[in-house]
Structure 1
Amino acid sequence: MSNHDQNAHRPVKRNEMSRRQFLSYTLGGATAFMAAGVALPMVRFAVDPILKKKSGSTLIKVVEESKVTNEPQEFKFKIHQIDGWYVSDPEQTAWIRKDEQGKYYALSPVCKHLGCTIGWNTEKNNEYVCPCHGAHYTIEGKALSVAPKPLDEYELEVKEGWIYLGPIKENTRV
C-alpha cells in the first residue's frame, strides 16, 4: 500500500481550539477593548485643539478715533486668546497715529533687533528708540540703525468712530 492510500483511509483530523486558547483569545480581546475605551478619550483630548477650525481674524476695539493725533500715542488693549486648553487675556500695546493724509496706522512696539520694547521720542529726536541696544526707527517704523527690519504693523479698521486692531502683519508703509 502506498503512502497516499494510507492517508486516504485515515479520518480527517480537525484543528480545534482548546479551552486554554479560547480563554486566551477572549481575555485578550476583552482587555484590548477596555484599553481602547480608555485610550480613545485621551487621544481625542490631545488632538481636539489641533482639529478645531481657526476663527478668522478678530478685531479688538482699542480707542476712539477722535483721541488719535498726528503724534504717535501708546495704547494698551487686551486680546482674548485660546492656546490649546489655556485661555488667557494678555495685554498688548500699539503705537497709533494719524498720518498727513488722515489715514490711521498702528505699529507694534517690539523691536526687530532682539525684541525689546521701543518708546517714542525718548531722545527728543522724533524717532522710535529701543532702550536695549539703541535701534532707531522713523515715525512710520522704518529701521534707521541696528535693527534689520522695520517695525511690524497691526491690521487696522475704523468703524463707527472707533479704531479696531487685528493681528500683526509686516509693515506696509516703508
Structure 2
Amino acid sequence: MIAFVLGTIIWQGALIREQIKDRPVRITELAGVEIGMPPYEVTRVKGAGFKLEPTRRADGSWDQMIVIGDLLVLLDGPSEDDLTVHRVCETEPGYETDVNGIKGWESEKSVLRRLGRPTMEVADEDGPGKSSYFERYNLMIRFSQSRVRGICVGV
C-alpha cells in the first residue's frame, strides 16, 4: 500500500512539473536576438544584414531597422550611438519556428487555446488578416486566413 501511495505521489509530481515546464512565459528573445541588445551584438549573433540609417524621431529619440533574411530587428534609443533592440519580428515563420509553443503556420484557434485571450486585436483594413497582441507574453502574432504569418517579440 505504501509503495502505491508513494508511486502515485511521484507520478503526480512529474505531471505537475511537465505542466509548469510547458506553460507560456514572457519572451525576451527571438531567433537568438534579445531585447536590449546593441546593434553590434545583433550582427555578431546573426551576421551582417541590411541596415537602414538611424533616424531621429520628433521626440528627439532615435530608431533604426536591420533586416537579416526574414528577421526584422527594430532598435531605438536616446541617441544615435546608444541604440538597443526593442522589437524583433520573424516575417515568414516556418514550421521550425517555435515561440512559446507557437509554430509558424499554426491555426489561430490553437494559438488562442495556448495563450488565451489577446490584450488587443487590430484587423487589416485591406484583407482577411489581423494582429493579436499578447502583452503578458511580450508577443504579437500576425494572422492571415486564420494562420500564423508573423511573430514579433517586444511589443
For the criterion TM > 0.5, the same-fold answer is no
Highest CA radius of gyration, 1 or 2?
1
Structure with the higher strand share, 1 or 2: 2
Q: Of the two structures, which has the highest relative contact order with CA contacts closer than 8 Å and spacing of 6 or more?
A: 2
TM-score of the two chains, using structure 2 as the length reference: 0.29
